[in-house]
Structure 1
Amino acid sequence: MIVDWTPLQAELAQWRAEGLELPIWWRDDDAIAPTEALDTLTALSEAVGVPVHLAVIPKDATDELAGNIAECFVPVVHGWAHVSHTPDGVKNAEFGAGRPAGTALQDASEGLVRLKSLFGDRVAPMFVPPWNRITPEIVAGLAEAGYDAVSTYNPRQTALAALGVAQINTHIDPIYWRGHRGLVEAETLVSQAVTLLQDRRAGLTDNQEPLGYLTHHLVHDADIWEFSRQFLLEICEGPVRLYRHDGKGIS
């Protein structure tokens, strides 16, 4: 795959010229068990030197996953069962409107307990709601449920989603979900990345929030893997700081 990275390289050069630093992180969703795709994700993370915050579905996570997870992964909580509770015609959400907040928060709490039983202290207390959707009422209870961060999608509006809960989102997703579910056109993704960086440099969005790359290893084709490899190598050529959520404080 040949990708024109010139626009991104030029933008990163501008960051260097202005003495700026870009925090970045990587989140991958829907892990349950060891698979060949997870092996590929492991190899890619190790090759590019970027840790992966692996969003694990607690209800279905297996002992085999816990026993074979590589050091490059930071397990985080991906809902409870990744099952939508919305009525027909409403976008999928496990922690969205139409569900009692108390019931949802009980699931969130049990999700953290479940992952800690599997991964111990390696679990970061970050909550990743399936489909990146969660109501403010549920967010407000996450700290009491044991979390210090929530992660959805798009640039955050505030550093804290609720008292004691940091908002640490993802911003670039290479999958064309509403179409063929393959790779979004590489030129479009590069342009999107450049715009995100320009907005940060101009102070339009919060550069204290790590720029998040979002993947879903179980559904990747060869083009998505290859674009991800190239993108991560290119972005790491810039003045970046790798972010790893360890649950020891709010970033």
Structure 2
Amino acid sequence: MTGKWPDLVAELDRWGETGHVASLWWRDDDAVAPTPELTALLQVAGAAPVALAVIPAEASRELPGFLDNAPQVAVLQHGWRHTNHAAAGAKRSEFPARRAEAAVVDELAEGRERLKTLFGPRALPVLVPPWNRFAAEFVPLLTKTGIRGLSSMASRQAAALPPNIASMDVHLDLVAWKDGRRFIGTAAALAGLIGHLQARRLGQAIRGTVTGILTHHLVMDRAGAGFLDRLAATVERHAAARWANTAELLAA
């Protein structure tokens, strides 16, 4: 799979030739307060809808007002405190299977209520578990706290969600976490993006109706911002591409 801008346009052209429109979804994680980095991300996004995963326990009272001028932003629940509760040596998770169900329910419910209080209807009932990990054993607990959507990193090994929980997975993380927390590079980003779009077009993709892109505004570098700026412009110009918003995914 090649990773050049003309290749992306060519893939979108193929979508158009089949009479379909490729939908993309943008999720950005770890928001807690107004920052220059968040301002920069929203400037790059422009009118494109962004699903902003906010850490409930750490969310500042200034963030709702900051977002007043960004109606395209939806607020999602990024766990509770973004605290690692995994066993020593295990992959980090705020909600590993070793935790008590009652504690998980309490944290999810408290997080949901705090976001509703701060952001009102902008706070949608979608859980984004920190580190994209949420024990399958706890999925049935989501509806007890009013959560109707779950967004993690897409995986063929993930258990199927119940019909009353919408899947909103992301498929492409733009940060190379083990390589200086920098942008993964245009070639790699385009290859991943085109690959998933092609798999969807050919009926080979894992569950989900959109191609999810994950960003982290706090570590977004200039190269990453440049990629996002060009991607947003490409989607805006192409008749066979569009940004999906979170509310429509919940209603699907």
Scaled by the length of structure 1, the TM-score of the pair is 0.91
Partners of 1:240 and 1:102 lie apart in 2 by 43
Corresponding residue of 1:229: 229
* TM alignment of 1:1-251, pairs within 5 A: 4-46=4-46, 49-69=47-67, 70-154=70-154, 161-205=161-205, 209-236=209-236, 237=238, 239-246=240-247, 249-251=250-252
Indicate if the aligned counterparts of 2:199 and 2:205 stay in contact, CA closer than 8 A. yes
Cα 1:90–1:208 shift into 2, 3 Å? closer
Indicate if the aligned counterparts of 2:168 and 2:208 stay in contact, CA closer than 8 A. no
Indicate if the aligned counterparts of 2:97 and 2:137 stay in contact, CA closer than 8 A. no
Indicate if the aligned counterparts of 1:26 and 1:214 stay in contact, CA closer than 8 A. yes
Amino acid at match of 1:192: G
Q: Can you give the 5+ residue segments of structure 1 that lack an aligned partner in the other structure?
A: none
RMSD value over aligned CA atoms? 2.1
Which segments of structure 1 move beyond 3 Å, counting only runs of 4 or more?
155-160, 247-250
Q: Which has the higher helix share?
A: 2
Partners of 1:201 and 1:165 lie apart in 2 by 24
Q: Can you give the 5+ residue segments of structure 2 that lack an aligned partner in the other structure?
A: none
Q: Count residues in correspondence.
A: 247
Task: Spell out, residue by residue over 1:107-136, the C-alpha distance to the aligned partner (whole angstroms, 9 max, x if none).
Answer: 111111000010011111110000000011
Amino acid at match of 1:94: E
Q: What fraction of aligned residue pairs are identical, expressed as a percent?
A: 35
Scaled by the length of structure 2, the TM-score of the pair is 0.91
